[in-house]
Structure 1
Amino acid sequence: MASSDENPGAMPPGDGSVPPGKPMTVGQHIIDKGAQMMQSLKPMKKMSQHVCTFAIYSHDMTRQIHTHHYVTRLNQDFLQCAVYDSDDSSARLIGVEYIISGGIFESLSPEEQKLWHSHAHEIKSGLWVNPRVPEMVVRPELENLAKTYGKFWCTWQTDRGDKLPMGPPALMMSPQELDLGIVKLDLVKKRDDKYNISTEALKTARAELAVPEAERINPQADYWKQHGKGFAIEVESTEMKKITAFP
């Protein structure tokens, strides 16, 4: 069993919907409000998009999750996303995804490319949506994103009931059009009902969207499709580099 899939073991009591801990005090609320007024919080203010989509565990593709990406664009070829389990104010930060253009992806080593997934199917099938933003507004962005690749590390496996971020991160894959890559219908319906959208209607509307054909997507991405194997992180002890003797 991979370290990223081991039972997390004993955890503090609680219902799992929020991390264990005491409620915030009035003083803590005052400090937070004061900090918001006095500090710039520039990285968070650069988050320009909310994307709702789905992800699949690389080491266990029977497990699929609904994700909310808050996207910051650093340039035309690189985006970074803080990934949450919901869009509520109490949402839990469950990971991070990096998104790169096809040109940057092609410059990576084959071993590194194995950790990345393509976005073409995810977008054209209507699974990738910007909630409450008209389709015609995001259409140019979708055409660009359909040619990108992502690397998503999940640091908090809330879907298995973890009350805290436990163990090592897990590598995530994007939905695909075959076998274990197909997103479960109940997950899609729950998302569609929440935002009053139709994934099937979006799929139809995106039928003419220019995306790379399957044979033009680098086969090192979506590695499982070609080789039937995923990736998992193992944690092991190792000698650390020291500047003085220990102890």
Structure 2
Amino acid sequence: MASSDQTPSGTPHIGGGGGDQPVPGKPMSVQQHMLDKGAQMLQSLKPIKEMNQHVCSFAIYSHDMSRQIETHHYATRINQDFLQCAVYDTDDSHGRLIGVEYIITDKLFEALPPEEQKLWHSHAYEIKSGLWVNPRVPEMVLKPELENLAKSYGKFWCTWQVDRGDRLPLGAPALMMSPQAVNMGMIKPELIQKRDNKYNISTDALQKTRMEIAEPEWLNPQADYWKQHGKGFAIDIVPTDMKLRAPFP
């Protein structure tokens, strides 16, 4: 008889079962650990070493705003106008890579086509409300960065929906939205309290210290598209004709 996490054919279930279920697969072997340690000493891993910020915040699914998750962004600043973030579900050593977010300044955002702008969200509320935190970094050190980020926009694709219990990355990526101070955009208090307890912080206190951070003079209505139109975005996977390489002459 199959165990509770097996199909009748013996194939492990990879969907469902809660977000804390282990990833299916055999434990790491001693040989694999040795290989990884050797590779770490011999290879540069330069892009990874450029990750110099850890941000903890929250995100909401564009197609289902009742689903809210805690996120951990490990950010690399490419230049003053562009950051790229690897997003994990936790900050411990077994964190799962659940997506990627790109963050750009308002100057770069305004140059995007209107249809592209609909996929991006603003960060002003997320910053000023205290939801966006850099754990263990003093607020005074962060202030210049927070002032810049309050005027930025992000595009976040979730590739592994661990909150619905997926034990492997399944299906198409999901577009994520930033918390907002309206309707379904408010983050559930129990999620905030859990995060605050973990880092011994107070989101309410952070909000008070950030009151003087300037908001953008104008937020492009194409961003946070759902606020104006009540519609999110979802990706469907459909079969399509392949473009084949031309035969050699």
Give the TM interval when normalised to the shorter protein: over 0.9
Closer/same/farther in 2, CA of residues 224 and 13 from structure 1, 3 Å limit:
closer
* Counterpart for residue 124 of structure 2: 120
1:11 and 2:14 aligned: yes
Q: Output the amino acid matched with 1:158.
A: V
Aligned mate of 2:229, from 227, 230, 242:
227
Aligned mate of 1:218, from 207, 217, 220:
220
The Cα shift of 1:19 comes to 1.1
TM-score (norm 2): 0.91
After the TM superposition, list the runs of 4 or more consecutive aligned residues in structure 1 that deviate by more than 6 angstroms. 12-15
Q: Output the amino acid matched with 2:219.
A: I
Q: Any conservation in 1 of the 2:14–2:24 contact (CA below 8 Å)? A: no
Aligned mate of 1:39, from 40, 43, 66:
43
* Counterpart for residue 98 of structure 2: 94
The Cα shift of 1:212 comes to 1.4
Aligned mate of 1:110, from 108, 114, 121:
114
* Counterpart for residue 57 of structure 1: 61
Unaligned runs of 5+ in 2: 1-11
Q: Any conservation in 2 of the 1:12–1:20 contact (CA below 8 Å)? A: no
TM-score (norm 1): 0.92
Unaligned runs of 5+ in 1: 1-8
CA distance in 2, matches of 1:54, 1:13: 22
CA distance in 2, matches of 1:132, 1:145: 18
The Cα shift of 1:13 comes to 9.8
CA distance in 2, matches of 1:149, 1:209: 16
CA distance in 1, matches of 2:13, 2:164: 14
1:82 and 2:96 aligned: no
Q: Output the amino acid matched with 2:183.
A: D
Q: Any conservation in 2 of the 1:13–1:20 contact (CA below 8 Å)? A: no
Closer/same/farther in 2, CA of residues 122 and 14 from structure 1, 3 Å limit:
closer
CA distance in 2, matches of 1:18, 1:10: 11
User: What do you get for the CA RMSD once the two structures are aligned?
Assistant: 1.6
CA distance in 1, matches of 2:15, 2:113: 42
* Counterpart for residue 158 of structure 1: 162
